[in-house]
Structure 1
Amino acid sequence: MRLLFITSNRIGDAVLSTGLLAHLIAQNPGIRVTVAAGPASAPLFGGVPGLERVIIVRKQRFSLHWWKLWRAVSGTRWDIAVDLRRSAILTFLRAGRKLVVPKPQGVVHRLDLLGSMVGRSDDPPLPTLWWNVPHEQQAEKLLSDGDGPVLAVGPTANWQGKVWPAENFVEIIARLTAADGPLPGARVAVFGGPDERLQANPVIAAIPRNRRIDVVGKIDLLTAAALLSRVQLYIGNDSGLMHMAAAVRVPVLGLFGPSKDDLYAPRGPKARALRTPESMEELIGFDGYDRHTVGSLMTSLTVDRVVEAATEMLR
């Protein structure tokens, strides 16, 4: 049996789609899997059970990327073909079962929408990530210089409006890892992408060297997943890393402001979203708002609230 799985370019959406992929693999033992994804998210799928191929879909003018993908997959008869991009490519493929993500009716969390494709909108399959031995070994190596608990933080995001101020991350790290905090003396792992170094630097610089694990832009996604699976708590802005942490089943506190937690809150047995008192619409509804020049819109989310929520999650 063969499965074609066309998923998102964005890391967060791609992570959320892994629950559906895991469900289909579990329901069809031994199925051979081909994943089509954008350049940013494709590395997430390197450890998928039964993986035959990952096709990187690079966006091109006039939607030529879909034509190239069709040429790459049209010679195979697929037992199951899934399209989470609503590209219409499945119309022209031979497949026994075709699944296309529906358009949401009203406010529907992305995971519930994906679950509805297999009759599980009320109990959607939770995201999961698969990695290989080299990723496991690299994660172990990164932790080999010390022992004890690890607090992970993700102080970056894909635009400045979603970034909780760096000084707040510095304060929460200090309070949670203080002698009287819930993670006394814990090491701190700082996560972020290759182009997010400037956002993360103030947080990194504030952590004592002997307790600092700086992996911003230094490791691949699956090594990041393996490392995240070993931490005691992850606190971060709304981002793909937040969803990755939830997918490896560690406690996750996702911080929201000018983005929709009702659509993209982290999901998992130990995941929680905490947002600003204002809604997204209230935060971006002021005169002169410009997404490209605005600073942080997360300042009304206080450190005290985050400390309280984090402490409760660690009990």
Structure 2
Amino acid sequence: MAKPSPDSSHPPRLLVLELWGLGDVTLALPFLRRASASLQVTLVAKPHAGPLLARFAPEVGLVPFIAPWTAFRGKYRLHRWPWRELAALRRTLRAGGFDAGISARADPRDHALLTLSGARERIGFPRAGSGRLLTKRLPCIGLMHRAEQWRALATAMGWDLPRFASESHGVRSGRRIVIHTGAGHPVRRWPIERYHALAARLRAEGWEPSLVDDTVSDLDTLVDVLSTADRFIGNDSGPGHLAALLDVPTFTIFGPQRPELFAPQHPDAAWIEGAPCEYKPCFDACRFAQPDCLLSLSVDSVWSRVQAWLARQPRT
């Protein structure tokens, strides 16, 4: 990364893009914390990043922005894009005088935004010809876990990130299980009645499950709830990544996505994967009337895997 000019009084300014979901921002937090130790870091992200930064990376500045291409449907109806907001974002970023800009996504739209920001160095994973927009191109070997991409970026900056970056390191030996039944994307939600059946089996085995859903929209409240858990069970969604960050062992029910790309980063993480499908991984919508890959997971099949996971002693 380029050094600031000798007459500059500020540390180098780094622009970071993570425009997607709650889980994506959570996976970026270890990088953001490390970067803010020596750089002046600004993150462009959806507004939900605000409470996360305040709690886990308070030195990082936020430019809130909802990118139109992150919508699940209709993302390329260009006539509906917020062009005035995009122009305002460009002005804001160019005024930031960034020495470098980075994105952990092999996404030409991110790389175009980095270029529009005026960042002198632009580091990322090229795709579909976007390498010409970057000053430093990193190799992306197949499909990489998002956390691995952040670690690769850290290496490019001369840093090491730990494999797991939890906020606490105590032994979780209690019996309280938080079950989060929601997900930002409907096709990633295992049916609620199956979660209730799973909770009943857990109670019968002496566990203390509590069900939480997307009505708990306040992130500070959600973090407080997760921090009291001894185990976490949920869909492929942001709360699972938050639980892992809080050092809570996680069990994830995967459907359209692949665990090797988005499993929570915890040494005691476990999961069950839905039925095979030639279209996996699905990022936006299911090609069928319903996500059969996820609905193929019965209560019995999930319970069998959960029992094995609960029998394992959490690592210290």
Same fold per superposition (TM over 0.5): yes
Counterpart-to-counterpart distance in 1, 2:281 and 2:269: 26
Q: What amino acid maps onto 1:191 in structure 2? A: V
Q: What amino acid maps onto 2:310 in structure 1? A: T
CA deviations on 1:88-131 (whole Å, 9 max, x unpaired) are: 233344556543344543222121122211228xx85457688x
**RMSD of aligned alpha carbons:** 3.3
CA distance 1:270–1:82, shift in 2 (3 Å): same
Structure 1 position 231, deviation (Å): 0.4
Residue equivalent to 2:223? 225
Q: What amino acid maps onto 2:154 in structure 1? A: V
**Residue 6, structure 1, aligned to residue 25, structure 2:** no
CA contact (8 A) 2:44 2:65 kept: yes
Counterpart-to-counterpart distance in 1, 2:111 and 2:16: 12
Counterpart-to-counterpart distance in 1, 2:125 and 2:50: 19
Residue equivalent to 1:297? 294
**Residue 54, structure 1, aligned to residue 53, structure 2:** no
Counterpart-to-counterpart distance in 2, 1:90 and 1:177: 50
The structure with higher relative contact order (CA 8 Å, sep 6+) is 1
Counterpart-to-counterpart distance in 1, 2:82 and 2:212: 33
**Residue 154, structure 1, aligned to residue 162, structure 2:** no
**Residue 172, structure 1, aligned to residue 198, structure 2:** yes
Residue equivalent to 1:33? 41
For structure 1, list consecutive stretches of 5 or more residues without a partner in the other structure.
Answer: 131-147, 194-216
Structure 1 consecutive aligned stretches of length 4 or more whose deviation exceeds 6 Å: 282-285
Q: 1:107 aligns with which of 134, 143, 164?
A: 143
CA distance 1:129–1:69, shift in 2 (3 Å): farther
For structure 2, list consecutive stretches of 5 or more residues without a partner in the other structure.
Answer: 1-10, 69-79, 128-139, 168-173
Residue equivalent to 1:249? 247
Counterpart-to-counterpart distance in 1, 2:116 and 2:165: 30
The aligned length equals 261
Structure 1 position 152, deviation (Å): 0.4
Counterpart-to-counterpart distance in 1, 2:142 and 2:244: 25
Structure 1 position 311, deviation (Å): 1.8
**Residue 69, structure 1, aligned to residue 105, structure 2:** no
CA deviations on 1:281-303 (whole Å, 9 max, x unpaired) are: 38899xxx745655783333513
Taking structure 1 as the reference length, the TM-score comes to 0.69
Identity of matched residues, %: 25
Residue equivalent to 1:141? none
